Amino acid sequence: MFQLRWLWENMKGVRRNYIIALCLSVICNILYIASPYFQSRIIDTFISNEHAAENLALHRDLLFGLIAGMLGFTLFRTVLQYSCNMYYEKASQSMIYRIRTHLFRRIEHQDMAFYDRFRTGDLMTRLTGDVDMVRHMVSWVIKGCVESITLFTASIVYFFTIDVRTALCILAMTPAIFFITRRLSAKAGPAYRKVRDTSSALNTAAQENISGNRIVKAFAREGYEREKFRRHDEEYRKANIDAAFVWLRYQPLIEMAAGALSVILLLCGGFFMIRQHLTMGQYVAISGLLWAVSNPMRQMGNYVNDLHRFMASARKVIEVYYEAPRIVDRADARNKDKLRGEVEFCHVSYSVGGKRILDDISFHIAPGEHVVIMGATGAGKTSLINLIPRFSDCEGGAVLVDGVDVRLYKLQKLRRSISIATQDVLLYSDTIDSNIAFGDTELADEEVRRCADLSAADEFIEKLPDKYDTIVGERGVGLSGGQKQRISLARALAVRPSVLILDDTTSAVDMETENYIKDSLDNRLGFKCTKIVIAQRISTARNADKIIILENGRIADIGTHEELISREGYYKQIYDIQSGISA
């Protein structure tokens, strides 16, 4: 079974502990035979024996020895059981730490296409509930199976040493239990896969609703979202009920089969005692150890249930565990420390899902140039800039930085030289200072404030109660859209990039603030960098060295502000419209 081999692979470093735990489990459960054995000897020698009083008088040391042996073995078994549980816990926790760390690292290194295919709520379920189910398998289910098999086998062997006929009568119920368990296993698998899938959908619905609570309130869609969540919750409830009914249909049969052992022992054991095939002590020993046969039978259904829950969860975890990113470092990738900022597109084509987004794109940006990209919604502007830091790879042509194909750079080095500030800002639940210094945690406080000043953020930050130590809420809750954009821009500037990409970063700020930011980027930056700006305002593009117009994934025009307004086209139309509005 692949899932179990995968578990063993992730126990590297703690396999010895787990093997010791399994061995201790076997020893502990074999030792359960000790007490019935001692009880049998005591009863047959000092209670039911016709010479019991004489034996008690002559062999009192034997009685005390048997009692001491029973107590000693019980204490020894308890110590072993405690050690066994400690080994299980250490092995399972170490294994889960390894899996969860690897899983998060794998998710962190995925490319953009991965996040298009997997929903956030589903990934959260895999990192939490599914991983916990994997640990449950290692620390409880496998342990329980080993203990049950050992206890059952040891007890049956002991029964055979006492009386073969009684042991065979007790063993007669085993085929019935096996048949019921097989039927349960066939039904439980699909049921628990359904539970796992509906749980993921429920978590996704909750995560999306909580993240988008402002949108929900803005459109007064609370009722709609409640109903959507109720539908997912209903599906999850129904899947759980269906899975529970699978177990409940077979659990009474298992209980009846296990309970029948007491009746069998009473009838057969009583008959064999009358025929003097069994002594009173042997009957008491078998009766006292009967639970060691019936309990494993009862637990088998639970273990089958848990096994299928594990299979459903492990399948989801393994899917991400072995998911390989498509955008990775090549073996011959360069490890250049600092880029100059020259960017060139050479006949670049790019598609998503079979739809052509960019078609034969070619242009050149010299180091330090200020370039603006404009175009209607869906023209391919964001897709174009995503090719520069290799968030995506083009399918035709090449994107060059400093004359080298970006696919020949190590990803970390390439992206450390390229900084992006987007319109949709994500701020972490941390201080403003930490958010600005996210790309360089060693950044001095003075540099943090200088970057905030360049992005026109310093003024409003200083008015906050704790200034730069103010904790922003999740995703920047508590700040306006413009304030978040300015912090995002400061964060992008803090790493002193060779290429600065601004994706409509000033869309939520007023014209005065935009002019301040534009002046900062043009005259007060303090380091040389190439600026690539996606914009919709003519005021942003007016002073650019070069303006690139995209239409339907192709370059419609390239030129300066003066050149583009002198000829008909998209830029001239936008210029006329915005000039008319401003007039």
pLDDT tens for 534-573 read 888 887 888 888 999 998 889 888 888 888 888 888 888 8
Same domain, 162 and 275: yes
Provide the token pair at 198. Answer: 């509906």
Q: Is 428 inside a domain boundary?
A: no
Nearest to 520 by CA among 454, 456, 452, 449: 454
Q: Is 423 inside a domain boundary?
A: no
- The enclosing domain of 104 has a CATH number of 1.20.1560.10
Q: Is 173 inside a domain boundary?
A: yes
Provide the token pair at 418. Answer: 């390229």
The last residue of one of the domains, among 258, 290, 321, is 321
Same domain, 298 and 344: no
Q: Is 425 inside a domain boundary?
A: no
Residues whose CB falls within 8 Å of the CB of residue 74, separated by 6 or more in sequence, listed in order:
34, 35
Q: Is 78 inside a domain boundary?
A: yes
Residues whose CB falls within 8 Å of the CB of residue 345, separated by 6 or more in sequence, listed in order:
361, 362, 363, 364, 384, 387, 397, 398, 399, 400
Same domain, 345 and 242: no
Same domain, 306 and 342: no
Report the chain's mean pLDDT, rounded to a whole number.
Answer: 82
Phi, psi values for residue 200, rounded to 5°: -60, -45
Same domain, 310 and 337: no
Q: Is 223 inside a domain boundary?
A: yes
**Across-strand partners of 558?**
548
Residues whose CB falls within 8 Å of the CB of residue 53, separated by 6 or more in sequence, listed in order:
none
Same domain, 177 and 211: yes
- The enclosing domain of 371 has a CATH number of 3.40.50.300
Global pTM reads 0.73
Same domain, 347 and 236: no
Of 65-79, 381-395, 437-451, 502-516, the one with minimum mean pLDDT is: 502-516
Nearest to 152 by CA among 333, 51, 291, 292: 292
CA distances (Å), origin 307, targets 98, 151, 313: 21, 20, 10
Provide the token pair at 459. Answer: 């003024």
The last residue of one of the domains, among 272, 303, 321, is 321
The last residue of one of the domains, among 321, 350, 374, is 321
Q: Is 292 inside a domain boundary?
A: yes
Residue range(s) defining the domain that contains residue 351? 328-417+540-583
Q: Is 85 inside a domain boundary?
A: yes
Same domain, 271 and 384: no
Domain count, the chain: 2
Same domain, 59 and 166: yes
Same domain, 74 and 188: yes
pLDDT in tens, 277-325: 778 888 888 888 888 887 787 777 778 778 878 888 888 888 888 888 8
Same domain, 302 and 346: no
Write out 548-566 in H/E/C secondary structure.
EEEECCEEEEEECHHHHHC
Q: What is the enclosing helix (H) or strand (E) of 355?
A: strand 355-365
Same domain, 143 and 260: yes
**If you compute the radius of gyration of the chain from its CA atoms, what whole number of angstroms results?**
36
Of 207-221, 265-279, 530-544, the one with minimum mean pLDDT is: 207-221
Q: What is the dihedral of CA 313, 318, 320, 326, to 10 degrees?
A: -160
